[in-house]
Every structure is written in structure tokens, then in C-alpha cells.
Amino acid sequence: SLTTAENACKWGPIHPQRQSYDWVGCDAIFDAAAAAIQSVRGHNLCWHTENPQWLTNGNFSSAELEQILQEHIHSVVARYGTRALAWDVVNEALDSNGLKPSAPWYPALPDYIDVAFRAARAAAGPDVKLFYNDYSAEGM
């Protein structure tokens, strides 16, 4: 069996302040899954919505955004390690015209998808599966 949190592991709930994390909700998902002998698919590490105000309104340079993204992904993925079978690294970044404008990531950090996947792989190691997650993908 596989468990996925709807919101508890997203950026807003888990990283509400730039210098601090709130692990309570996401920890509860991982702990409940372990008690039920289930694997966890972490959802999600990077999305254009459900971000905290400090990130959305931060007016960061591309270099700052890249560092923030890498640090966030490393912190989250390293905390749960191999307790996560997989991670949805980037969520809903595309539309029928390609990359959709998605503050704070695009167009401020044009290669944010690559940055996110590289950071996730470095933190997760070779055995954790990494995914791009989207909806209505049949029409893309």
C-alpha cells in the first residue's frame, strides 16, 4: 500500500518561515504510514501554489531562488530519507504552451525544474523514485 499526503508535505505547511520548518503534519503522515506498514510518496517539493508568503512575495534574484529551492528540497528529502519510496518533485508546471508562468519559479528561474530534480536526486540517493506530477497530461 502507498500513502500520499494531500497538503501536509507541501511548501506552505512545512516551511512557513524562511529560517524554520514545521515538520508536525508531514511527520504524522510518515509515522502513520509506518504504523500501517505502508510506503509514502511525498507530495510535493516544488509547486507554483500553496507557497508561504515569504517565498511568494520575496522578490528574490534567480541565484537566491535557486539556493532557496535547493535548500528546501535537501532539508525535506534528507529528513525522510528512504522512508519515502518516491517524491513528486515538481507539480503542475506545464500547460499546452509549455512552461506556464508560475510565481515564484518561472520565469524568474527558467531552469527550476532541472534544479529541483538535481537537488532531489542529490538528497534522495539513487533508490528513491522521482516524479513530475500533473493533471490532464493526455492533452499536452
Q: Is the pLDDT of residue 140 over 90?
A: no
Stated as kind and residue range, the H or E segment containing 85 is strand 84-91
Share of the chain above pLDDT 70, in %: 97
- Grid cell, residue 40, equals 509514502
Q: Is the pLDDT of residue 24 over 90?
A: yes
Say yes or no: domain 2-139 is CATH 3.20.20.80.
yes
The domain locations on the chain are 2-139
Give the residue-averaged pLDDT of 16-34.
98
pLDDT tens-digit series, residues 35-88: 999 999 999 999 999 999 999 999 999 999 999 999 999 999 999 999 999 999
Q: What pLDDT is attached to residue 100? A: 84
Q: How far is CA 11 from CA 20, 27, 36, 137, in A?
A: 12, 14, 25, 23
Residue 27 CB neighbour total at 10 angstroms: 15
Q: What pLDDT is attached to residue 103? A: 82
Q: What pLDDT is attached to residue 16? A: 98
Give the residue-averaged pLDDT of 9-22.
98
pLDDT tens-digit series, residues 99-139: 888 889 999 999 999 999 999 999 999 999 999 999 876 66
